[in-house]
Structure 1
Amino acid sequence: MTTLITKTITKICIPLVSLFSISLLLAGHNNPGGGFIGGVMFASVISLTYVVFGLKYTKSFFNPSWDKLFGIGLLLASLTAFGAIVFGHNFFRSAVEFIEIPFYGEIELASASLFDIGVYFVVIGTLLHIFKNVGEDK
């Protein structure tokens, strides 16, 4: 049984940690962070929800197929790694393009970001699939 304080703090933490997770993901190819630690942060907030509110309650409004998310992430990361070969470059070579956005400035688009997103999905899918299977009553 959890207390009202625990449930309230969890409801506050869910959006904050989710946004921090995405921030880590987006900063990862140039700064500390990336797909792995961003995925761990997101999986931790979802697992906190499982622990505080229970698996049955959480599944009533949020029940994605975590193994499919793992597959999508693995496919995206693999295609990013092998995509360089299609364009005549070495395996895992990152391409970088700079684009100008009006009123914002120049931003960098790197293929390493797609790889980080794939890793992000793989980590989330793996950890939450494990947590869900361990937590289910059979």
Structure 2
Amino acid sequence: MTTLITKTITKICLPLVILFSISLLLAGHNNPGGGFIGGVMFASVIALTYVAFGLKYIKSFFNPDWGNWFGFGLLLAALTAFSAIAFSHNFFRSAVEFVHLPFFGEIELVSAGLFDIGVYFVVIGGLLSIFKNVGDDE
């Protein structure tokens, strides 16, 4: 049983930490951050929610199969790594494209960003699958 203070702080932290983890993910190919640390941040706040509210309460309205998240991330990361070979480049070569969008200006699209998204989902799926399986054991 957790306190009201813990539950309230968890409700406040949940959206803020998720937004911060996405920020780390998107900045990762040029700045400190990336898919791994963004995924750890996301998994940690979901784990905090599990601890604060209990696994049964969370499963009543939010019960994804974290193994599918892991599989999707692994597939995306592998496809990104091998896609360069299809274009006669070295394994894992990153491609960069600059695109002009109205209201945003010029943005940089990097294939390493797709790899980071794959890592993000692998970390989230792996950590939360382990956490959920350990928490389910009664």
Report the TM-score, using the length of structure 1 for normalisation.
Answer: 0.98
Give the letter aligned to residue 10 of structure 2. T
Q: Cα deviation per residue 1:83-114 (whole Å; 9 max; x = unaligned)?
A: 00001100000000000111221000000000
Report the Cα distance in structure 2 between the residues aligned to 1:43 and 1:20, rounded to whole angstroms. 12
Aligned residues: CA RMSD: 0.6
Task: Compute the displacement of 1:61 (Å).
Answer: 1.1
Give the letter aligned to residue 117 of structure 1. I
Structure 2 residue runs without a partner (length 5+): none
Report the Cα distance in structure 2 between the residues aligned to 1:91 and 1:129, rounded to whole angstroms. 30
Q: Does 1:54 align with 2:21?
A: no
Report the Cα distance in structure 1 between the residues aligned to 2:124 and 2:103, rounded to whole angstroms. 34
Counting aligned pairs with the same residue, the percent is 83
Structure 1's consecutive aligned runs of 4 or more residues displaced over 4 angstroms after TM superposition are none
Report the Cα distance in structure 1 between the residues aligned to 2:129 and 2:47, rounded to whole angstroms. 10
Give the letter aligned to residue 60 of structure 1. S
Q: Partner of 2:60: helix, strand, or coil?
A: helix
Give the letter aligned to residue 133 of structure 1. N
Q: Cα deviation per residue 1:43-97 (whole Å; 9 max; x = unaligned)?
A: 0000000000000001111110000110000000000000000011000000000
* Aligned residue number for residue 127 of structure 1: 127
Report the Cα distance in structure 1 between the residues aligned to 2:82 and 2:23, rounded to whole angstroms. 26
Q: Does 1:18 align with 2:15?
A: no
* Aligned residue number for residue 90 of structure 1: 90
Report the Cα distance in structure 2 between the residues aligned to 1:51 and 1:32, rounded to whole angstroms. 29
